[in-house]
């Protein structure tokens, strides 16, 4: 009995069969195929493929080192021309061919050399104002604070004094334009050139001055510059004006939102009068019920029907629609008027004429 470990349990015990020399074997011995090995991928770098796929050419810098088609030039020692003949010279040239060389052209060397002119830096002056600092001045003039300190020999802890003059590395006209925010146009100036000189956007410059890019600017005119500190100051003014308008609107709203007090409500015709004799009786400052009138008092005169029919009395407080505060009944009008009031305007005749005649609602 033989054992065969690599196979399954069916082939572990096998019967040994013996054959004679003449007989053929019934079973042919075969070996099982070996398992296929996994293909391993080989990583090839670019350096390994250079010789196979890349054609290396000769560099150009060594191109001049090739052998000349004319051959090499040999230098012969000096031979005195007196002893040589034409035959010996021709024989030597046949052996050693020489290359015809031309003498190099002579270059004329000019004696004059033009050097660029070095422009001397222009300096202007800036007078220190209240609240100024080095950083604030540098921000306004579009330069660095270190540069100003270096030119004026100042330290970082140095305090500026009001009225102190500082040297600024730019023309005085440009300094004045930066501070005032205006530029005086000169002959030959353009909008793009002005914007470039002050590091501004041409579109912002035209929008700030309410002009177009095709507008022709005349010499002598002033153009406003939309500089950061100028825009900041304008925004601050606008905020203050807006705050004032809002405060006034709130005050007027408070006056309008006062609720009318009283039980009665009536629409009447309202006129105005003053203390002049043409608008009152012979006694301009004395009203009905012997009431004394003084300019500035909030007083009205009412028609007789308001007293008899609607229950008003001397001293009744009345609120007039559209006018702030309260008015007091201190006078009465002629008998011919119905549902009418007359507002006292003191001595201001123009104000009374401006009031004219209006239809209003009164509350009492």
CATH number at residue 200: 3.10.350.10
**CA distance linking residue 143 with residue 15, whole number of Å:** 109
Q: Identify the CATH number of the domain in which residue 318 sits.
A: 2.40.40.10
**Region 55-64: what's the mean pLDDT?**
65
Last residue of a domain, one of 234, 253, 274: 234
Q: Is residue 297 part of a domain?
A: yes
- What stretch of H or E contains 140? helix 134-141
**CA distance linking residue 295 with residue 205, whole number of Å:** 55
Q: What is the pLDDT of residues 79-119, one digit of tens each?
A: 454 455 656 666 666 665 555 555 555 555 555 555 555 55
Is residue 309 within 8 A of residue 273, CB to CB? The reply is no
163 has pLDDT over 70: yes
Q: Is residue 51 part of a domain?
A: no
Q: Is residue 29 part of a domain?
A: no
Say whether both 302 and 329 belong to one domain.
yes
**CA distance linking residue 162 with residue 174, whole number of Å:** 22
CA angle 216, 220, 225 (to 5 degrees): 75
Say whether both 141 and 212 belong to one domain.
no
Q: What is the pLDDT of residues 109-152, one digit of tens each?
A: 555 555 555 556 688 899 998 888 888 888 888 888 888 888 88
pTM of structure: 0.38
Number of domains in the chain: 3
pLDDT band at 60 (very low <50, low <70, confident <90, very high): low
Structure tokens at 288: 């009905």
Q: Is residue 207 part of a domain?
A: yes
Structure tokens at 231: 């825009």
Q: Is residue 68 part of a domain?
A: no
Domain of residue 189 covers 185-234
Is residue 121 within 8 A of residue 150, CB to CB? The reply is no
Q: Is residue 76 part of a domain?
A: no
Last residue of a domain, one of 162, 180, 198: 180
Say whether both 282 and 349 belong to one domain.
yes
- Inter-CA distances, 244 with 43, 70, 200, 254, 324, Å: 80, 100, 33, 15, 20
Say whether both 192 and 174 belong to one domain.
no
Say whether both 331 and 298 belong to one domain.
yes
Say whether both 356 and 287 belong to one domain.
yes
**CA-CA-CA-CA dihedral for 304, 306, 312, 314, to nearest 10:** -30
Say whether both 282 and 336 belong to one domain.
yes
Last residue of a domain, one of 180, 200, 218: 180
- What stretch of H or E contains 46? helix 46-53
Is residue 300 within 8 A of residue 329, CB to CB? The reply is yes
**CA distance linking residue 158 with residue 133, whole number of Å:** 10
Say whether both 350 and 282 belong to one domain.
yes
What integer pLDDT is reported at residue 79 of this predicted model?
47
For residue 355, what are the contacts with CB-CB under 8 A and spacing of at least 6? 270, 271, 272, 343, 345
**CA distance linking residue 112 with residue 109, whole number of Å:** 9
Q: Is residue 137 part of a domain?
A: yes
Q: Is residue 208 part of a domain?
A: yes
* Closest by Cα among 93, 95, 98 to 72: 98
Say whether both 287 and 332 belong to one domain.
yes
Is residue 239 within 8 A of residue 254, CB to CB? The reply is no
**CA distance linking residue 265 with residue 322, whole number of Å:** 14
pLDDT band at 290 (very low <50, low <70, confident <90, very high): confident
Is residue 225 within 8 A of residue 197, CB to CB? The reply is no
| Structure-model confidence comparison of residues 268 and 99, the more confident one | 268
């Amino acid at each position: 009995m033989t054992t065969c470990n690599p196979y399954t349990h069916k082939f572990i015990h096998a019967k040994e069969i013996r054959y004679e020399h003449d007989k053929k074997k019934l079973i042919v011995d075969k070996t099982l195929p070996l398992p296929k090995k996994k293909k391993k991928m080989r990583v090839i770098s670019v350096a390994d493929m250079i010789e196979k796929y890349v054609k290396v050419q000769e560099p150009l810098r060594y191109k001049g080192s090739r052998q000349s088609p004319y051959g090499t030039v040999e230098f012969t020692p000096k031979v005195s021309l007196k002893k040589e003949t034409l035959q010996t010279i021709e024989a030597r040239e046949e052996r050693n061919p020489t290359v015809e060389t031309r003498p190099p052209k002579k270059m004329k060397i000019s004696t004059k050399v033009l050097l660029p002119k070095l422009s001397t830096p222009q300096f202007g002056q800036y007078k220190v104002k209240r609240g100024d600092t080095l950083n604030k001045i540098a921000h306004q003039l579009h330069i660095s604070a270190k540069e100003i300190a270096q030119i004026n020999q100042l330290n970082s802890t140095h305090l500026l004094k009001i009225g102190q003059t500082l040297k600024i590395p730019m023309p005085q006209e440009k300094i004045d334009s930066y501070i005032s925010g205006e530029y005086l146009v000169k002959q030959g100036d353009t909008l793009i050139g002005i914007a470039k000189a002050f590091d501004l956007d041409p579109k912002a410059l035209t929008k700030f001055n309410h002009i177009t890019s095709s507008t022709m600017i005349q010499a002598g005119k002033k153009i406003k510059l939309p500089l950061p500190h100028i825009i900041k100051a304008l925004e601050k003014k606008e905020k203050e004006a807006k705050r004032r308008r809002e405060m006034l609107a709130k005050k007027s709203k408070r006056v309008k939102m006062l609720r009318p007090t009283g039980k009665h409500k009536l629409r009447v015709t309202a006129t105005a009068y003053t203390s002049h004799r043409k608008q009152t009786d012979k006694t301009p400052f004395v009203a009905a019920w012997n009431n004394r009138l003084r300019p500035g008092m909030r007083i009205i005169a009412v028609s007789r029907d308001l007293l008899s029919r609607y229950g008003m009395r001397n001293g009744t407080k009345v609120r007039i629609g559209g006018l702030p505060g309260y008015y007091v009944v201190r006078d009465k009008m002629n008998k011919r008027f119905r549902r009418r009031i007359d507002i006292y305007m003191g001595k201001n005749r123009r104000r009374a004429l401006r009031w004219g005649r209006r239809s209003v609602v009164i509350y009492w």
